[in-house]
């Protein structure tokens, strides 16, 4: 583990590939329920049972049955059929028509997203730039140095950090698919929140990435993952009194 203490030197990166978009132009708190449900920005979250969304969900410690593939957060899709398949799969009853489907509708508002879909082919992803990968590595290295972590957690973090350092040893300016860069986060609830914290620190409210579903019936579709829950909500959340003055 001696290599964990190494510093990653900065270097110019001319292969910046990410793009930032802002989604949700209309304030959902001004919409009727009918307008909310037909909005072109409407997103869907499929779950095994009733999903009680609130903005106080702590994804730093959240250990529910949701996804961790792109860090811990709220996972949604613009495809209602995919959300339906996700709900079925989470109940381990895929293909049984009588399974009760649970889908929750969401709208974002002025949400700053890292969009990793290809501009020429939105069914494919582009790699993240080496600059992005380097920032993530240096963030994670700093987190590894936290003296309050238990020995077990430091071991877990150290294994992943060694993986990141190996990437930079083999290619000083790596451009790669985000899922490759985040290898293993989906199965580590203690590690996945770090990417959420990193993205918030970079000024992003979430990201958009093309993923396949959990079932054989699923197709490649865009996942909209939200780390900042203040920028997304259900109709009822957006119409709570404290939300009416949102900008």
CA angle (40 as vertex; 126, 33 as ends), nearest 5: 140
Structure-block tokens of residue 193: 């929140």
DSSP result, the chain: -GGGGPPPPP--------EEEEE--S-GGGS-HHHHHT-TT-EEEEESS-----TT--TTT--SSS--BTBSSEEEES-HHHHHHHHHHHTT-TT-TTSPPEEEEEEE-SEEEEE-B-SS-TTSBPPBPHHHHHHHHHHHHHHHT-TTS-HHHHHHHHHHHHHHHHHHHH-SS--B-HHHHTTTGGG-TTTHHHHHHHHHHTT-SEEEEEE--SSTT---EEEEEES-GGGEE-HHHHTSGGGTT--
0.95 surpassed by pTM: no
Task: Tell me the pLDDT of the chain (247 aa) as tens digits.
Answer: 333 334 334 333 333 467 999 999 999 999 999 999 999 999 999 887 888 899 998 877 655 555 678 888 999 999 999 998 888 777 765 555 566 788 999 999 999 999 999 988 888 999 999 999 999 999 999 988 888 878 888 888 888 889 899 999 998 888 889 988 988 564 455 678 889 999 999 999 999 999 865 544 446 789 999 999 999 999 999 999 864 444 4
Render pLDDT for 131-186 as a digit per residue (tens, 0 to 9). Answer: 999 999 999 999 888 888 788 888 888 888 898 999 999 988 888 899 889 885 64
Q: Are 48 and 185 in contact (CB under 8 A)?
A: no
Nearest in space to 57 (alpha carbons), one of 199, 245, 233, 213: 233
Q: How many domains does the chain have?
A: 1
Domain of residue 65 covers: 2-243
Q: Are 125 and 19 in contact (CB under 8 A)?
A: no
The confidence score (pLDDT) of residue 60 equals: 73
The gap between the terminal CA atoms of the chain, to the nearest Å, is 48
């Amino acid at each position: 583990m001696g290599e964990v203490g190494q510093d990653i030197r900065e270097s110019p990166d001319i292969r910046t590939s990410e793009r930032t978009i802002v989604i949700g132009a209309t304030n959902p708190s001004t919409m009727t329920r009918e307008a909310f449900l037909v909005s072109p920005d409407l997103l869907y979250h499929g779950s095994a049972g009733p999903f009680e969304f609130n903005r106080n969900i702590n994804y730093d410690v959240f250990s529910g049955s949701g996804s961790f593939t792109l860090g811990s957060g709220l996972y949604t899709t613009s495809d209602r059929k995919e959300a339906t398949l996700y709900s079925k799969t989470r109940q381990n009853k895929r293909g049984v028509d009588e399974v009760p489907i649970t889908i929750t509708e969401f709208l974002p508002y002025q949400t700053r997203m890292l969009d990793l879909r290809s501009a020429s082919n939105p069914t494919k992803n582009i790699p993240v730039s080496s600059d992005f990968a380097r920032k993530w590595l240096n963030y994670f290295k700093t987190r590894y140095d936290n003296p309050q972590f238990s020995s077990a957690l430091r071991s877990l973090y150290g294994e992943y950090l060694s993986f990141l350092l190996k990437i930079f040893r083999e290619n000083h300016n790596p451009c790669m698919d985000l899922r490759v860069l985040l290898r293993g986060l989906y199965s580590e609830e203690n590690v996945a929140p770090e990417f959420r914290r990193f993205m918030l620190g970079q000024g992003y409210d979430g990201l958009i990435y093309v993923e396949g579903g959990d079932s054989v019936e699923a197709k490649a579709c865009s996942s909209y993952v939200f780390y900042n829950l203040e920028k997304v909500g259900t109709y009822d959340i957006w119409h709570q009194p404290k939300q009416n003055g949102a900008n």
